Structure formats: structure tokens, C-alpha cells
Amino acid sequence: QSVLTQPPSVSGAPGQRVTISCTGSSSNIGAGYDVHWYQQLPGTAPKLLIYGNSNRPSGVPDRFSGSKSGTSASLAITGLQAEDEADYYCQSYDSSLWVVFGGGTKLTVL
Amino acid sequence: EVQLVQSGAEVKKPGESLKISCKGSGYSFTSYWIGWVRQMPGKGLEWMGIIYPGDSDTRYSPSFQGQVTISADKSISTAYLQWSSLKASDTAMYYCARLPAGQQLVKNWFDPWGQGTLVTVSS
């Protein structure tokens, strides 16, 4: 049971927009702590996708965007492409546990 | 370029000890936290613990406290994750990653990540 809750899977057709939610509580996201997102392509190490709720590292396409409100955060991917098929994880700080991850969401491009 | 390079895959028997490594380069090793993350086969990411090599301040996830030991040798810019007695349930991929936003944990994240070390524990 992860401290941050994500849907196990989402899917979309090429070109569509999908969102992945990350729901926490008053001890993590709801306490105002930042949310970060990672992409893990099959067989590879995770890679930073979004940091500080909505900031993209250099090299990450602007098709990826992040937002946060209350006790939840979301990752949006527009113009879905086949190479976006991967697992996506959110991460935040928790006042009791320090670092917490979401359970991960598998994105399937139909 | 900031880089973390991990030691190679290991195959061990239950009850054996193990120490895997993560060597940092391209930055001041003593000025940033390094974390360890477990990924069991087909499962998600689990935070295990972090160490600040500058003063060896170490924090463990409650799930891993007492199960592993995290250490660092700043003279060779290397962090370690070790087990004194492995179990089959320790079979997993283990990643190290730098926390780039300074000494404060509150606003930090993991970037970059090492390539991972696969640990297989089987009799």
C-alpha cells in the first residue's frame, strides 16, 4: 500500500491527452510539499520528468506537464506518442516518512 | 556531466552478506544526498534510505530500518548499500540516485539515477 495513490493503468490513442493522478494526504502533498514525477521505460532506470510540481528538466518535451492542488497532483501528457508507453511514478516528501513514492501507473498507447 | 555508476549484478545464497556500490562523478559528492530505491520484480519503486556524504547523516525508511545499512566513503565518492544476511525476498533491482536540491530534504527529488544493480538471492 503506497502512501501516494496512483491509478494502476491508463491508456490513450496516439495524439490524445491523458492524465495520471497522484493522491496523498495532509502529511505530504496536502501539507504543501512538492510533487515530482518519473518516467520508467521498459528495462531502464527511472528518469526525472517533472520536478517541483510543474517544472520540466531540460530535454523533457513540453508535451509533459504537472500540476498540484490540495492533496493531489496530476501529470498530463498531450499529443501521445508510442514512445511514451512506460511506467510513471509520483514522489513527494512526507512529514513522518521523509520520502514517499506512488505505486506507479502503466501507460499504454493504443 | 553528473553521473552515478553502480556495481554489477550479484547472485547470492540466502544468509550471505553483500555490499553494492554507487560511484558519483561530475559533482561535489559531499554536498548532495544520495538515496537508494528498491524495485522488486514487476513492482513499483520503494524508497529505502538516504545518506548525506558530507557528514554521513543517514535516514532510513521504516520499512528498511534494521534490514540494510547505508554508508559512504567520500574519499572515493562512493555510496554503499549492504546486507548482513540476505533473504530470497531481497531479490530486486536496486537503484541509487542523487538528490540535487541541496541539503534540504523537503523540496528534493531524485536525479540522476544510476543504472541499477540486480541482486538475485536463491539457494
Tens digits of residue pLDDT in A28-45:
999 999 999 999 999 999
B62 φ, ψ (degrees, to nearest 5) = -55, -30
**Cα-to-chain-centroid distance, residue B40:** 14
In angstroms, the CA A47 to CA B116 distance is 12
pLDDT score recorded for residue A109: 96
Residue B95: strand, helix, or coil: strand
Sort out which chain B residues have CB atoms less than 8 A from A46's CB and list them: 37, 45, 95, 97, 110, 113
**pLDDT tens across B55-110, in order?**
999 999 999 999 999 999 999 999 999 999 999 999 999 999 999 988 888 889 99
Smallest Cα distance from A15 to chain B, Å: 27
Cα separation of the two ends of chain B: 40
pLDDT score recorded for residue B104: 83
Smallest Cα distance from A79 to chain B, Å: 25
Q: What average pLDDT does range A74-92 have in this prediction?
A: 97
